[in-house]
Chain A
Amino acid sequence: MKILVAVKRVLDYNVKARIKSDGSGVDLANQKLSMNPFDEIACEEAVRLREAGVASEVIVVSCGPAACQETLRSAMAIGADRAVLVETDAGLEPLAVAKLMQHVATKEGVQFAIFGKQAIDDDAGQAGQMFGALMGWAQASFASRVQISGETATVTREIDGGLETLAMKLPAVITTDLRLNEPRFITLPNIMKAKKKPMEVIRAADLGIDIAPRTVTLHVGEPASRKAGIKVADTAELVKRLKEEAKVI
């Protein structure tokens, strides 16, 4: 069974977004870009499934500019077998990504796909579920445990107030939540090995798929910021102020 893992190159988790002065978007020039953390969890899970003998091959796929090859190499250093870049410099909405992933998944004949539950740049949280819809596959978002046996994936997912477990008929797609696994540390030998793994580049423009954006970003600005309040000397002052000033208790 082949597994497709979708990865996205995003502004690094530790870097604060800087908004362009013309309000057109977030400035990514000269910033550190890394793999979306939930996609690292997705790679790790796929590699574990291969190591457990459940999967035969892990294919990592990214959609975006040529620089995404670096992110795909990181995914192969975690242990993915090969990579596909669907290259485009155009801005992609999650629906467009889902369509491009559908193309690759169909061409490769994958039976299982793992997406991150959300990318930490656009915070949309859509691509995995959209991919499921386009493929007509079973879906389990926010997965915290995955077991595959025969034609069934048993997936535990995080819901409000607890957990639920689904039995899914393969083929299926899941999106990863935090506690699915802890991605392994990437070692230097594995980085070297990843450099030799195959990387296929497809041009999105050659596929005849409608990836034009459906929304126009009119303006990007700073949200209203919250002012720092005061420091209180002790708990007695805190309680007094909460009761008399803020009137919240």
Chain B
Amino acid sequence: MTTLIIAEHDNAVLKAATLNTIAAAIRIGGDIHVLVAGGNCAAVAQDAAAVAGVAKVLHADAAHYEAHLAENLAALVQSCVRADAGYTHVLAPATAFGKNVLPRVAALLDASQVSDVIAIESPDTFQRPFYAGNALARVQSKDAIKVLSIRTTAFDPAGAGGAAAVETLTAAGDLGLTTLVGREVVKLERPELTAASVIVSGGRGLGAADKFHAVLEPLADKLGAAIGASRAAVDAGYAPNDYQVGQTGKIVAPQLYVAVGISGAIQHLAGMKDSKVIVAINKDAEAPIFQVADYGLVADLFTAVPELIAAL
């Protein structure tokens, strides 16, 4: 039994989500191989080799892997699986990266995919939430090669202490289907949403984009927090889409989640209800967010948030 993990990285460092995925693979048992495909990413392959539990790192370096485009990457994974009959599982984190490439891999392997796995019961039986987290399924995969995307918040990251061998792969050809024109990645002063220990999140109650930032940013600064948003706030244009926490956005589980002016639609709760401590500030005492909040403050957010900042 061997698991192949598709590493998420930026050609310089291994992303934390890969460590959560390795932790899930450890629960499956058997050997763990990590595929690091990219452009000039030898340092990442070394990072992966140093993670506890990893037996082998497959390093594929080529210009056409640099942007991690799904078509070339999925074809490479398929060729790795074909080259080694030992593979029984293929895993990737259920992040924007993994969600993009892994289903393409699964189809090339003629395998079904189990998305958003939150628990490994045995090598073929897994738990996953669906219906916006309102239902939890135990599913058994009958595929010869099981393809799983891993919900990162459900597995504590694998630690250091590995000394795996790094094997260099010959790159497969460039399919030439897609080229990267450009990326606009906002350089955040704040922690990344999915990695933050504190998140301050805003909803429709903020009323306008300028207020969203004016109210939440000082609070986030004070707490060293990432900023999130409900879908309603994203839809209303108060915040960019990658701030979105919920069923169709990011799934987070920080130590502290502060929901400001968020009513608490089930789709939002799906993305944050595994947070350790939830604080809700909302002027509507009946808002469903209070049903999941550890500490609820019924108050006008425009006075409560500045007060809170002063009191911290």
Contacts and interface: CB of A to CB of B under 8 A. Distances in A.
Secondary structure class of chain A's binding surface, majority of residues: mixed
Contacts of A70: none
A126 B115 contact: yes
Contact of B176 (A98, A134, A169, A236): A169
Nearest to B109: A133
Nearest to B133: A223
Interface stretch (B159-167, B203-211, B292-300): B292-300
Contacts of B104: 129-130, 132-133, 139
Contacts of B139: 215-218
B129 A232 contact: no
A223 B177 contact: no
A142 interface: yes
Interface stretch (B42-50, B54-62, B140-148): B140-148
B302 interface: no
Interface stretch (A52-60, A82-90, A198-206, A237-245): A237-245
B296 A230 contact: yes
Nearest to B116: A123
Contacts of A220: 135-138
Contacts of B96: 142, 158-160
A12 to B, nearest CB: 12
Contacts, number: 260
A185 B198 CA distance: 39
Interface in A121-180: 121-134, 137-142, 144, 154, 158-169, 172, 177-179
Contact of A232 (B67, B186, B295): B295
A133 B107 contact: yes
A229 interface: yes
A249 B308 CA distance: 13
A177 B95 contact: no
Contact of A177 (B67, B137, B241): B241
A160 B45 CA distance: 22
Interface stretch (B23-31, B33-41, B68-76, B82-90): B68-76
A201 B311 CA distance: 65
Contact of A231 (B180, B298, B308): B298
B263 to A, nearest CB: 13
Interface of A: 11, 13, 16-17, 19, 26, 38, 93-95, 98, 117-118, 120-134, 137-142, 144, 154, 158-169, 172, 177-179, 213-223, 226, 228-232, 234-236, 238-239, 241-242, 246, 248-249
Q: Lowest 9 A-B CB distances belong to which pairs?
A: A229-B294, A214-B112, A133-B107, A130-B107, A129-B103, A17-B131, A138-B177, A126-B103, A162-B185
28 contacts: A16-B134, A16-B266, A17-B134, A95-B107, A117-B248, A120-B267, A123-B116, A123-B131, A123-B247, A126-B115, A130-B103, A132-B71, A133-B106, A137-B177, A139-B71, A158-B96, A159-B183, A161-B192, A162-B185, A162-B242, A166-B69, A167-B178, A214-B112, A221-B135, A222-B134, A235-B304, A246-B256, A248-B276
Given A164-B182, A222-B135, 18 more contacts: A94-B113, A95-B110, A95-B111, A118-B248, A120-B247, A123-B115, A129-B70, A129-B104, A137-B177, A138-B177, A141-B70, A154-B181, A163-B183, A214-B143, A215-B112, A215-B139, A215-B143, A223-B129
Interface of B: 67, 69-71, 74, 95-97, 99-108, 110-116, 125, 129-143, 176-186, 188, 192, 194, 198, 223, 231, 234-235, 241-242, 244, 247-248, 255-256, 266-267, 273, 276-279, 285, 290-299, 304, 307-308, 311-312
